[in-house]
Structures are given as C-alpha cells and as structure tokens.
Structure 1
Amino acid sequence: MTNFINTLAMRNGALFYSGLICFIMAALFFLICRKSQIKVNNTNAWYKPLKFALSIGIFCWTMGWLLFYLKPEKTALYTWVSIALLAFELFYIAFQAGRGQLSHFNISTPFYNIMYALMGIAISVVTLWTGYIGYLFFTEPLPMLPANYIWGIRMGIILFVIFAFEGGLMGSRMSHTVGGPDGEEGLPFLNWSKKYGDTRIAHFIGMHALQVLPLLSFYVLTSVTTVIVVSAMYGLLALFVLIQALKGKPLIAQRKPKIVYQPGA
C-alpha cells in the first residue's frame, strides 16, 4: 500500500494531494454526521458532502494515475482546472449542508439558482475535458502499455463521460427519484430509494467504470476482445439500471407482506 501511495504521489502530485484532502474531508464529514441533527430531505445533511468527498477523492487519484501515461504538456491545465472546479463543487455542497439546504435542484432564490447553474457548468467542463483525455488515449502513442489495458482505460473513460452526463437527466427533472418524491426511505448510507426508481444508481455504476474497467483489464482481462465484451456488458448493466429507474422501479424490490386469510376473523 505504501508503494502504491508513493507511486501515485510521484505520478501527479497535485491530484494526489487533492484526493488526500478530499479523503480527510470525508473523515471530517463522517464525524460531523455522528453529531449533527441537521436533515435535508429526511436524511442527515452531511451524508451528501461525505459521499461527494469520497467520490471526488477517488476521481482525483484515478486521473492522477492515468494522466501519467500522457505527455505532461497536454494534461497539466486539465489537472489544475479539474481541481479548482471540483473543489468549488465540494465547498458549495458542504456549505449548503451546514445551512440545512439543498445544493442540487435548489433554485428557490436567485443566489441558489446561480450557484446550481455554476455547479452544472463546472461538472460539464470537467466531464468534457475528461472525454478529451479519453480521446488522447486513442490518438497518442503508448508503446509501453499492453493493448488490453489501454482499451480498459478507453472504455472506462467513455462510460464515465456518458453516465456523468446522465446527471443532466436528473437536473432536467429537478429530482433523482422517479415515481415518488426525493427523501423517501433509502438504502443505508447510499440512500438509494427503496420504494421508487432512483436515477443516481446508474449514474454511480456508469461513472465508476473509470476505476473498474482499467483495474479489470490490468489484472484480469487478458485480451482486447474480452475487455471490449466486458465493457459492453458493464455499460448495458448501467443502462438496464437506468431504464428500471425510469420505470419507477427500485434497485431492490421490497417484499409485500403476505396477508393470511383467517376464516371468521
């Protein structure tokens, strides 16, 4: 583990330390969760910044690892712009949590409206630029990397970009729940709805292709063909989960209690 951390820090120090700060913030948000009684949509308000801190930290470390394979002059600006924009996202989410207010889907005041729009612009810039990084993995010579690993990186970035923009679907609906209101009972920590469709699930699965597919292609999948097949199956899984959510169906259907008929009752 120490060797991995040292290698990661060597590959891209800026993204490494940004990710590390995010993980420290996640630990802080976890401690606040234990003490705070502030709720947003019937859920502890600090769960959201906790989850975003973890997600952004993982993203920073992933991209810090992958950018090492490309020429620094083509990735340096991406590194710093991504750090700045994602820091803005996390700051605003935590700021709103502390005030007991929604960060997303909140346009109830001119200030909230502007901030929500800026968050959308920020994440769109990061996503599109990450797509350009994926393009570089198609066009730049990478003679030292195995072909199956390169394809794992390519497919991971492609699915990441597609399902990152699936977040726009939530934004257009001003809700992540289909068939009911946001804030209903959800799975522990993740808070994915137990009763209705939840478009966050496909968003989560698809975006984490960025980690899953390169790891599988490096350690498990030994040919380009298997990488592409598994990537397609992974993408179809995320798409299936999205379709189920849009039908208003939860990830795990709740069992309805059996009604036992008792004569004379």
Structure 2
Amino acid sequence: MGVLALVSAVGVFVDDRILVGVPIWTKPFKFSVSFVAYGLTMAWMLSLLPRGRRAGWWAGTALTVTSTIEMVLIVLQVIRGTQSHFNQTTPFDATVFSIMGATVAVLWLSALVIAVLLLRARILDRAMAWAVRLSSLIALAGAAVGFLMVRPTPEQLAVDDSPIIGAHSVGVPDGGPSMPVTGWATTGGDLRIAHFFGMHALQLLPLLLIALTALATRVPALARLADERIRLRLVVTASAAYAATFVLLAWQALRGQALFAPDGATLAAAGAIVLVGGAAAALSLRTATTSPSPARTEEFAT
C-alpha cells in the first residue's frame, strides 16, 4: 500500500484524466494511505493479544487479502478510465463492484473478529485496553457507513437501468463542488466524512492515550495523568465524545447537509457534545479518592 500510495501520487500529477470531478488517481491514493494506517494499527493491536493469536492471525490474513483484492480492482478500473464504486455500466463493471462488495464484507467481518478478541483480551494497562477496545468498536461502526452508500438515490431510481447505483453524496450528485484533497462535497451531505472519522478512531484514541502518558512524565503540572484510573476515565470520556461526534457527522450527512454549512440542530448537538465532554473530562481529572483505612471501613460497616 505504501508503494501504491507513491505511484498514485505520481499519477495524480502526470495523468490529466478527471473522474467524478477529481483526478483519476485520487481514489487509489487516498485508499492506499488509509490502508497503510489501518494495517499498521491492526498489526500493533494483534500483537497485544495474550491469547487467541491464531484466530487473530487468520482474521488479519483475511483482512490483508481482501484489502489487496479491493485495491487491485480499484487500480484496474483507474487504468480502464472508469469508476470502480457503484458502477453498473457493463456486466464487467457490475462484476467488479460485486467482488469489491464481497471483499468489503469479509474485511468488516475480519475486523469484527479482531474487535471481539480484543474485548476478551486481558491487557495489563487498563486504560490502553479500553482505548484499543472502544476504538475498534467505533471503527467498525465507521466502516459500516460504507454500506449506506450502495443504496440507489431517488434520481437513480427514477431512471431505468441507471449505469450508476449508489453514491457517497446526499442531496447532490457525486462529482460536484468539493473540498481539496478530501474531495468531500461542499454543497450537500457526504457519507465519507463519518466513514473516515469513524474508521480512524482506531489510530486517534490510542494515540491520545500515548500522548497523555508522555505528558504525565514530561510536564510536572500534569503528573496526575500517571494515575491509571484518571487515564482510564479520560479514555472513556474521549471515546464517548468521539462516538457522539461520529453519530452527529453521519446524521448531518444523511440530511444532505455540507460539513461546513451546519443548521441550528447540528450546531446545538455539537455544542452539547463539547459541553458534556468538557465537563466529563474535568471530572475525570480529579485525583482518585484515597481508600479508607480498615478501621474506618469497619466502623462504616457496623
């Protein structure tokens, strides 16, 4: 995937073909970069398993094979100069997209197996254990957003034998005005935003914990972060806020609303997440109460 990212980056600049409003090599570039991060994170998470390593090996191998098949098909369609996703133009294109759908389903199930193994694993650092577990579950939800994209739009349903079935944009056609680099729609909803945000919880939540641990050892004012109980509370708080933001982004997109054009309901929900999350984080930073002495415990029990 790293090599493909470099090849695709060159293709973006040397191949002047445009597909669905962006340079034709943009999709393999973004997918390969995403798979680099995803693969590295999954490999690290599998190394944390004290038991179930064989099942984890099989799940990781299935994930790797299906990811590779999907990227081969995406690049094949780029070479042919046509869409890989949602393409029903010819029987061959439809077959390619059907195979891609099957590989995505296997990939998601493989990730589910790994998430279950992580939920059952006894990882010594409880804060890291829950960062890994909760990020895996949020990433599964983020990946599942992709299944919403294969639904035909009202415009496609109104046309007999539409060559394209499915879309990532909501309320506007794919290929319209979009953000640079990401390609996310700027005039309507885009399910790829929630898809991206959810899947990358896999990296961001563990990285947050690693950063907190580093701060505890390097910044005297934050020495309380060395307390595992405080870090655990912060991980749970951050995961809850992350999950709520993911749901908000999906809800915003499904209503056909562009990321930077939120309505009052979206702003109110975002404000609530910030306020509740901030309050929960402040409470999480409180120093854990010292356990009562045996004498006081006996007195209380009496």
Is the TM value for this pair above 0.5? yes
- Output one character per residue of 1:60-105: Cα deviation in whole Å (capped at 9) or x when no partner: 1111111111143222212222111101111111111122211001
Letter in 1 for 2:205: L
Question: 2:118 is matched with which residue: 137, 145, 161?
Answer: 137
In structure 1, C-alpha distance between the alignment counterparts of 2:75 and 2:181, rounded to whole Å: 17
Q: Which residue of 1 aligns with 2:240?
A: 232
Check if 1:89 corresponds to 2:70: yes
Letter in 1 for 2:197: I
The Cα of 1:186 is off from its aligned counterpart by 0.7
Question: 2:196 is matched with which residue: 188, 191, 204?
Answer: 204
In structure 2, C-alpha distance between the alignment counterparts of 1:50 and 1:153, rounded to whole Å: 27
The Cα of 1:217 is off from its aligned counterpart by 2.4
Question: 1:77 is matched with which residue: 46, 55, 58?
Answer: 58
Q: Which residue of 2 aligns with 1:241?
A: 249
In structure 1, C-alpha distance between the alignment counterparts of 2:177 and 2:15, rounded to whole Å: 19
In structure 1, C-alpha distance between the alignment counterparts of 2:177 and 2:2, rounded to whole Å: 27
Q: Which residue of 1 aligns with 2:139?
A: 160
In structure 1, C-alpha distance between the alignment counterparts of 2:121 and 2:238, rounded to whole Å: 24
Correspondence 1:29-44 to 2 at 5 A: 29-44=8-23
Check if 1:179 corresponds to 2:171: yes
Check if 1:45 corresponds to 2:53: no
The Cα of 1:219 is off from its aligned counterpart by 2.7
In structure 2, C-alpha distance between the alignment counterparts of 1:129 and 1:83, rounded to whole Å: 10
In structure 2, C-alpha distance between the alignment counterparts of 1:224 and 1:177, rounded to whole Å: 37
Check if 1:216 corresponds to 2:208: yes
In structure 1, C-alpha distance between the alignment counterparts of 2:182 and 2:79, rounded to whole Å: 19
In structure 1, C-alpha distance between the alignment counterparts of 2:121 and 2:254, rounded to whole Å: 38
Q: Which residue of 2 aligns with 1:110?
A: 91
Q: Which residue of 1 aligns with 2:274?
A: none
> Retained in 2: the 8 A contact 1:137–1:154?
yes
After the TM superposition, list the runs of 4 or more consecutive aligned residues in structure 1 that deviate by more than 4 angstroms: none
Question: 1:28 is matched with which residue: 1, 4, 7?
Answer: 7
In structure 1, C-alpha distance between the alignment counterparts of 2:181 and 2:211, rounded to whole Å: 30
In structure 1, C-alpha distance between the alignment counterparts of 2:177 and 2:91, rounded to whole Å: 30
In structure 2, C-alpha distance between the alignment counterparts of 1:177 and 1:244, rounded to whole Å: 12
The Cα of 1:141 is off from its aligned counterpart by 2.6
In structure 1, C-alpha distance between the alignment counterparts of 2:61 and 2:253, rounded to whole Å: 35
> Retained in 1: the 8 A contact 2:56–2:113?
no
The Cα of 1:35 is off from its aligned counterpart by 0.8
- Output one character per residue of 1:84-129: Cα deviation in whole Å (capped at 9) or x when no partner: 1101111111111122211001112222222212211111111122
TM-score, with normalisation over the residues of structure 2?
A: 0.73
Give the greater-gyration-radius structure (CA). 2
In structure 2, stretches of 5+ residues that fail to align are 153-165, 213-224, 263-302
Q: Which residue of 2 aligns with 1:17?
A: none
> Retained in 2: the 8 A contact 1:128–1:161?
no
In structure 1, C-alpha distance between the alignment counterparts of 2:186 and 2:84, rounded to whole Å: 22
Q: Which residue of 1 aligns with 2:104?
A: 123
Q: Which residue of 1 aligns with 2:37?
A: 58
Letter in 2 for 1:215: L
Between 1:53-62 and 1:115-124, the stretch displaced more is 115-124
TM-score, with normalisation over the residues of structure 1?
A: 0.83
> Retained in 2: the 8 A contact 1:45–1:98?
no
> Retained in 1: the 8 A contact 2:12–2:23?
yes
> Retained in 2: the 8 A contact 1:82–1:126?
yes
In structure 2, C-alpha distance between the alignment counterparts of 1:96 and 1:66, rounded to whole Å: 32
The Cα of 1:200 is off from its aligned counterpart by 0.5
Aligned length in residues: 231
